[in-house]
Amino acid sequence: MVSIAIVNQKGGVGKTSVTLGLASSAARRGLETLIVDLDPQGNATTGLGVFEPLKGVINVLEEETVGGISEVSEKAKWPSSCGQIPYVAASTPNLSVCEPRLATDPLGAQNRLSLSFESANWPLVIVDCPPSLGLLTINALFAVDLTLVVTEPGAWSVDGVARMIQTIEKVKTRRVDSKPEIAGIAVNRLGRTRDDSYWNAKLEEAYSSYQLPKVHLRTAVAEASAQSLPIHGLGNRSGAAEAAAEFDQLLTLLLEDEYSESNSDEEEHSDGYL
Ligand SMILES: Nc1ncnc2c1ncn2[C@@H]1O[C@H](COP(=O)(O)OP(=O)(O)OP(=O)(O)O)[C@@H](O)[C@H]1O
Ligand SMILES: [Mg+2]
């Protein structure tokens, strides 16, 4: 099992869009995947076509269910033609009140998600985190093997990523297995403006060893989420194939040690706003 948390305490940078893009790539390549939606906003849940979940990740967080993550998950409502449809441990409306309740546990509640992963056997688990460094994100950091920091190329993004990395490093020191590893930084919504190039260069300069392929600004990415469709299922929509190829490349790199896949059919793409 490979588990990856998609993180940044800054809101609106593209954590959920990247989660869904990677889920779409995994579906296309036939990988059984579980998406854990840890964000009370529930955008990953609805992006996967699940609008009225009966249960969700809150059940394992509040009930301390060892190994229970699979039992609170349901199959996403993406079209069956889109490959191996992922499962989702959904966000439910009451997730927003869960965090302050967890904070009152005198023994600490940072490992509830981790407990629920015990003996679960998904080839791939992707955890979409909320835009904060509260107990929900901390639970993700205590549960996963890898983190992917998503950022936009904007003012303060270098500082925001630094804060996120500091938090990950702190968690590493408290875990006996010294995880989670930082898989890298994915710059998302990279457009053609001078401002984007400037901030992207700043990020590359500050974190040269963490660089991953960029995800460019494309309306197809927003459309896929809004229509609760995988990006690979958008057909001939302008920019969809290019965006899908970027997520394919990102997933291949994240999994490179676990599942080696031929990249030979991937093409070079321009970095235009489409
Ligand atoms: N590559 C992209 N191209 C175009 N639009 C994008 C791209 N990535 C994200 N967006 C849009 O930007 C907005 C924010 O993205 P998203 O919801 O994925 O961010 P987030 O980090 O998950 O936000 P939050 O912190 O609130 O959970 C959404 O409207 C989304 O459709
Ligand atoms: Mg989100």
35 lines ligand 1 (CB under 6 A): no
- Nearest in space to 44 (alpha carbons), one of 122, 125, 121, 127: 127
- Within a domain: residue 261? no
3-state secondary structure of 75: strand
Can you tell me the mean pLDDT for 82-104?
95
- Within a domain: residue 215? yes
Contact 88, 74 (CB under 8 A): yes
Q: Is residue 20's pLDDT more than 90?
A: yes
Peptide bond into 180 cis (omega under 30): yes
State which amino acid sits at residue 141. L
19 lines ligand 1 (CB under 6 A): no
The rounded Å distance from CA 64 to ligand 1 centre is 31
CA distance 115 to 163: 26
- Within a domain: residue 38? yes
The rounded Å distance from CA 22 to ligand 2 centre is 14
Pocket test for ligand 1, best of 10, 13, 17 (most atoms within 8 A of CB): 17
Which residues have CB atoms below 5 A from the ion given as ligand 2? 15-16, 43
Contact 37, 90 (CB under 8 A): yes
Between the CA atoms of 253, 245, 26 and 36, what dihedral angle is there, to the nearest 10 degrees?
80
17 lines ligand 1 (CB under 6 A): yes
State which amino acid sits at residue 159. D
Q: Which residue puts its alpha carbon closest to atom 6 of ligand 1?
A: 222
| Residue bearing tokens 């998406």 | 35
Can you tell me the mean pLDDT for 246-273?
62
- Domain residues for 134? 2-254
Domain count of the fold of the chain: 1
The rounded Å distance from CA 35 to ligand 2 centre is 13
Contact 266, 231 (CB under 8 A): no
201 lines ligand 1 (CB under 6 A): no
191 lines ligand 1 (CB under 6 A): no
- Within a domain: residue 271? no
The rounded Å distance from CA 83 to ligand 2 centre is 24
- Would you state the pLDDT for residue 261? 37
- Within a domain: residue 269? no
Can you tell me the mean pLDDT for 122-142?
98
pTM: 0.94
Can you tell me the mean pLDDT for 69-81?
97
Between the CA atoms of 152, 154, 160 and 162, what dihedral angle is there, to the nearest 10 degrees?
90
Mean pLDDT of the chain: 93
39 lines ligand 1 (CB under 6 A): yes
Q: pLDDT band for position 130 (50/70/90)? A: very high
Between the CA atoms of 225, 227, 231 and 233, what dihedral angle is there, to the nearest 10 degrees?
160
* CATH assignment at residue 60: 3.40.50.300
- Would you state the pLDDT for residue 274? 37
pLDDT digits (tens, 9 = 90+) for 172-227: 999 999 999 999 999 999 999 999 999 999 999 999 999 999 999 999 999 999 99
- Within a domain: residue 272? no
Contact 42, 92 (CB under 8 A): yes
- Within a domain: residue 264? no
- 29 contact partners, CB below 8 Å, separation of at least 6: 83, 84, 248, 251, 261
pLDDT digits (tens, 9 = 90+) for 29-59: 999 999 999 999 999 999 999 999 989 999 9
